[in-house]
Amino acid sequence: MAAALPRGSSGRKTAVSFTGGKDSMTVLHLMRAPGIALEAIDDASWREDLRERLAKVAHCEVALLVTFVPAGGKQSFKAHPLAVVQLQARALGLPHLVMEVESAPTFLDSYISNIHRLREEYGITALATGDILDVCSSFMPRAAAGTGVELIAPLWGIERRLLLELVWVYGMNPLITCVNITKFTEAAAVKPPTASAVRVAEAGVVAEAEVVDAETEAAAGAGAFGITAPVADTEDGTTVSKDATVPEATGDASVSIRFSETTRPQVGLALLGRKLDRQLYEELLLPAKRTYGVDDCGEWGEYHTMVMNSRLFARPLHLSSEPRREGDYAFLALTSIELDEQCGVAE
């Protein structure tokens, strides 16, 4: 039986498609605390744009967070570890639903079935995503069509710097958990994104993709809900410079990372394990955008993030991890994760 909205509420009962990264987290914050963004953003054009985006989520009542995972639980998340996602939901004080996605008969059919279930079992009438671009042949609109659940994408087409400003306004400073190091090279700067690269960017996939048939395209498109392809753990650590060792973070997370060699890292490797704050943006991401043509917010799969704290978290998360390298990707292998039970409400 569907849970009821609070008495007197006239809002749309909304589920947020949630991976714990900066984009889905920003959508959630815009829905729950719009005044914070409106008060902090003073650029006139940005404020006008922000008001239009907030209008899309007006009267939305966030009922739950939903994370879609591969059926059977046999595949592991590298960019967005499920254990972290579950603790984020606790820190936010929101119900968290994990829904399995089957490959048969198709991933699209499985998503349609799950969205129907959101409506029938939980009374959901709107599903909000952190999508910014159509990078997988309108997979999400096709999945939601005819289900009676409205698809909302308040970040669609947003200027990247405005998105990052919103991330910082809400006190996130996300942790960069996965980097495609091949994106930060001179060769990448002269090659436009391929169809497969676009699908990888949307899915947050930590694996090399190939241009394949329409059925596999739909499966990759399913990653808009956070499915991440598995990657086998490697025994050796990532080769980076000791100069790039991540300092102990303060305030929003404590991150312990061990690096194995003293070879100076590529720009991509230097991002791994760092907080996506203003300093990192100015020192590494902005020059990389100019030099290699990368997207500031990682929309082509350049990097992926997890949020360890924000102004809506009751407590920050603390994690320890080890850097790993697999093919084109460097990622943080989680060794421990916990909520700071001694800390009060985050500032």
Give per-10-residue mean pLDDT for the chain (347 aa). Answer: 41 94 97 96 95 96 94 69 94 96 90 97 97 82 95 96 98 95 73 42 30 30 30 30 31 39 62 95 93 92 95 94 92 90 51
Would you tell me how many other CB atoms lie within 10 Å of the CB of residue 278?
A: 12
Closest CA to 89 of 339, 318, 343, 297: 339
Distance (Å, rounded) from C-alpha 101 to C-alpha 115? 11
Record the pTM: 0.78
Under 8 Å between Cβ of 63 and 317: no
Q: What whole-number distance in Å separates Cα of residue 332 and Cα of residue 269?
A: 11
> What pLDDT shows up at residue 228?
31
Q: Count CA atoms closer than 13 A to 54's CA, side-chain side.
A: 16
> CA-to-CA distance for 171 and 157, rounded, in angstroms?
22
- Alpha carbons 84 and 82: distance in angstroms, whole number: 5
DSSP class of 52: H
Cα torsion 113, 115, 117, 122 to 10°: value is: 180
